[in-house]
Structure 1
């Protein structure tokens, strides 16, 4: 697989910083909270219930393993999309990450004309910044693409994933003038599945704005 890149070097670079344990970015418009940090205030109730049921020690161990798994799969995908050949995936990343990447290949094959890869973006309108996994054409439609790993496929959609991807579509348009009409959440699971979910980012803008207002008020509404 060889991928074409259409990069936008004019996008200002932003720098990640931590303030009191919270991730922010230094941008030309000032210090802005990261979209990831903001969305942590809206953790799905199911995850909160699970943490309570298994206990903090077990939950933390599971999350550490999941983060390690996700980081390895993301690195393989980034190298692949950057046209950097990998000669020993299992040796470099382990059997699990290598297998989960292989499951992702049918979706990766639909990606081309890459605009951004692990690109820092910020929005003056929303006062938020972050780092997008990928913006490229997916099935010939300009798309914000988010790569996820999971233990198993879940029936319900994580609202924060959709809101985050939608934010990046708006930040991209704000920075470049190029409109993004699709988001795609590509999830590879430990039990052998690939889940591809596509949506229109405009479906989640209202919720993004609600979350920002709730965050600013200091009283997030977890019921939504």
Structure 2
């Protein structure tokens, strides 16, 4: 296992930052992506809220957030060899993704902080492990219906590209080289939906992430 680097997540003003044990402050990947979300995505979200109503939209969002958090915690404990009871709300998603976890080997990092000082961002990686013998950054998602295509993952591929570059940077002295990524979408009553990103695909998503990162710094400097 790789060592964990310490960082505290601080929220304020609608943004979140990681403060490292050295006192460095870097915006989170999530903050950067939210701040630079395309207007089309914002409009689609507003339209959805209007269609279902504010109360129902809040209920759906809260339920999805709790479900995702619970599933992440269950996966984390499982990968760390800890035994815990799974709640009824999380159980269908846990059963969906468990077979994927059993295919992982050489788990090197679970819920660990990574950052890139040069680019100025940080984030918390779900997992770094090998899948089918290939080292990769893993991201766990939950959904009620299959995503179907990469586009419906929205910013997840950009997030993974950012994490992979940051992980290679912060763990350079440990010989880490990870150029692939895996998204596993846990679904009720069916196997998890998998999306695999090879080096070329991850590189393309890095280019998109880099543009969003530059856009973020331009917004901050205004």
Scaled by the length of structure 1, the TM-score of the pair is 0.85
Question: Which residue of the partner structure matches residue 217 of structure 1?
Answer: 218
Q: 1:55 to 1:191 in 2, by over 3 A?
A: farther
Any idea what SS the aligned residue of 1:218 has? helix
Report the Cα distance in structure 1 between the residues aligned to 2:162 and 2:81, rounded to whole angstroms. 27
Contact 2:126–2:139 (Cα < 8 Å) also in 1: yes
- Within the candidate set 135, 142, 146, 2:128 is matched to 135
Q: After the TM superposition, which segments of 4 or more aligned residues of structure 1 sit over 6 Å from their partners?
A: none
Any idea what SS the aligned residue of 2:146 has? coil
Give the unaligned 5+ runs of structure 1.
1-6, 220-224
Report the Cα distance in structure 1 between the residues aligned to 2:16 and 2:65, rounded to whole angstroms. 17
Tell whether 2:74 aligns with 1:76. Answer: yes
Q: Kindly state the Cα deviation for residue 83 of structure 1 after the two structures are TM-superposed.
A: 0.6
Report the Cα distance in structure 2 between the residues aligned to 1:109 and 1:26, rounded to whole angstroms. 34
Q: Kindly state the Cα deviation for residue 209 of structure 1 after the two structures are TM-superposed.
A: 0.7
Question: Which residue of the partner structure matches residue 8 of structure 1?
Answer: 2
Aligned length: 207
* Greater alpha carbon shift after TM alignment, 29-38 vs 160-169: 29-38
- Within the candidate set 160, 181, 189, 2:155 is matched to 160
Any idea what SS the aligned residue of 1:18 has? strand
Q: Superposition RMSD on alpha carbons, in Å?
A: 1.9
* Greater alpha carbon shift after TM alignment, 167-176 vs 44-53: 44-53
Report the Cα distance in structure 1 between the residues aligned to 2:179 and 2:68, rounded to whole angstroms. 26
Question: Which residue of the partner structure matches residue 28 of structure 2?
Answer: 34
Contact 2:92–2:187 (Cα < 8 Å) also in 1: no
Give the unaligned 5+ runs of structure 2.
none
Question: Which residue of the partner structure matches residue 118 of structure 1?
Answer: 111
Report the Cα distance in structure 1 between the residues aligned to 2:46 and 2:129, rounded to whole angstroms. 34
Scaled by the length of structure 2, the TM-score of the pair is 0.86
Question: Which residue of the partner structure matches residue 62 of structure 2?
Answer: 64
